């Protein structure tokens, strides 16, 4: 997203719509209903690229094969591929294809719609220890040692996700004519706070620098004299009962309990087996060499944690010593 990869500049809306129309005509035949172009506010004057979300359900062979078909069918001469994002130049304009699992197809479409509103809402959700993104709404579980975190899925129901922030879902469905309407909609949440934009961290500062819509949003906040701040609890876990009650289908408390049980299990195993334990046994193993050794050692079993948890310290040391002697 952003349309600056190939330094091609922006197109006025009329020219953009011609290109989007050509692509839709082709993709309707190629993928049917299994592609999406994120929505934008109706009076948007110009565009830096076309974003196209592709469901894996529409691909009969592989993502690589589809990329090659796009190159041939659309006469693409310049492109760059990075994992699930395929950036191309079509009609001297940047077109980005996003490959997504079908289960995240609609949630990606909703998240990417209307420019950077997803990022604006994400900053609100973050204060609840939630993550809002292409997979919908997730809870960020962190272990007590701070060395592990896991995103626990809560909901992909965007009507309920927006309702949590007390945002008007019907308005979202209708769409927005202008950026002003879009910004007013996002800041109507009682949980919106201007603080992240007044006291920008490095991530927000970089986003504002790189994204035109974010720069406009910060300027809009100043122009409108927005001063709204919501005092969030210092302990984000305080919101757990509220989140769990609002999204009972997410079974959040049960998932967290399972992760905490898993944490206790891992901590017990770490007393017997860890990078620190191995370095004490073999001081010559450091850095990358240590990581490579551990991955190779663990690859002996389908579930190395379960196997090692069933051994005592002496047995693990014996296994490690024998393995090292044979490599």
Q: How far apart are the first and last CA of the chain?
A: 46
pLDDT of residue 309: 87
**pLDDT of the chain, 327 residues: tens digit per residue:** 556 899 999 999 999 999 999 999 999 999 999 999 999 999 999 999 999 999 999 999 999 999 999 999 999 999 999 999 999 999 999 999 999 999 999 999 999 999 899 999 999 999 999 999 999 999 999 888 776 789 999 999 999 999 999 999 999 999 999 999 999 999 999 999 999 998 888 889 898 888 889 999 999 999 999 999 999 998 988 999 999 999 999 999 999 999 999 888 888 888 899 999 999 999 999 999 999 999 999 999 998 988 998 899 999 999 999 999 988
When divided into structural domains, the chain yields a total of 3
Residues 126 and 180 in one domain: yes
| DSSP 8-class letter at 161 | H
Range of the domain at 297: 271-325
Where among 181, 216, 249 does a domain terminate?
249
The structure's pTM equals 0.84
Whole-number Å distance between alpha carbons of 82 and 76: 17
CATH number for the domain spanning 75: value is 3.30.460.10
DSSP string over 215-259: HHHHHHHHHTT--------SSGGGGHHHHHHH-GGG-HHHHHHHH
Residue 259 lies in a domain: no
4 domain-assigned:
no
Q: How far apart are CA 171 and CA 2, in angstroms?
A: 25
- Cβ burial of 190 (10 Å; 0-12, 13-18, 19+) is exposed
Whether 6 maps to a domain, the answer reads: no
In a domain, 103, yes or no: yes
Residues 47 and 159 in one domain: no
- Tokens describing residue 268: 């017990």
Residue with tokens 């996003």: 98
Task: Based on the fold, state whether residues 98 and 181 are members of the same structural domain.
Answer: no
């Amino acid at each position: 997203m952003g349309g600056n990869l190939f330094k091609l500049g922006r197109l006025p809306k009329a020219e953009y719509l011609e290109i989007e129309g050509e692509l839709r005509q082709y993709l309707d035949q190629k993928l049917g209903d299994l592609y999406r172009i994120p929505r934008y506010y109706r009076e948007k004057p110009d565009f830096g690229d076309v974003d196209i979300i592709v469901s894996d359900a529409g691909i009969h062979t592989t993502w690589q094969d589809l990329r090659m078909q796009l190159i041939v069918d659309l006469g693409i001469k310049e492109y760059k591929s990075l994992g699930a994002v395929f950036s191309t130049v079509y009609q001297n304009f940047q077109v980005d294809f996003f490959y997504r699992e079908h289960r995240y197809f609609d949630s990606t479409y909703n998240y990417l719609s209307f420019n950077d509103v997803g990022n604006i809402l994400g900053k609100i959700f973050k204060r609840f220890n939630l993550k809002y993104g292409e997979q919908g709404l997730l809870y960020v579980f962190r272990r007590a040692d701070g060395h592990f975190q896991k995103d626990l899925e809560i909901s992909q129901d965007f009507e309920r996700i927006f309702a949590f922030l007390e945002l008007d879902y019907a308005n979202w469905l209708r769409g927005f004519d202008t950026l002003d309407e879009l910004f007013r909609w996002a800041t109507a949440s009682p949980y919106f706070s201007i603080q992240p934009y007044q006291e920008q961290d490095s991530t927000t500062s970089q986003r504002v620098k790189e994204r035109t819509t974010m720069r406009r949003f910060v300027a809009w906040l100043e122009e409108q004299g927005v001063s709204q701040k919501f005092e969030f609890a210092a302990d984000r876990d305080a919101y757990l009962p509220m989140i769990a009650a609002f999204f009972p289908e997410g079974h959040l408390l049960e998932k967290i309990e399972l992760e905490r049980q898993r944490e206790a299990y891992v901590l017990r195993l770490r007393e017997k087996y860890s990078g620190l334990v191995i370095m004490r046994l073999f001081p010559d193993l450091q850095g990358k060499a240590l990581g490579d050794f551990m991955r190779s050692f663990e690859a002996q079993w389908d579930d190395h944690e379960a196997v090692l948890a069933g051994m005592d310290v002496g047995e693990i040391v014996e296994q490690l010593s024998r393995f090292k002697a044979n490599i």
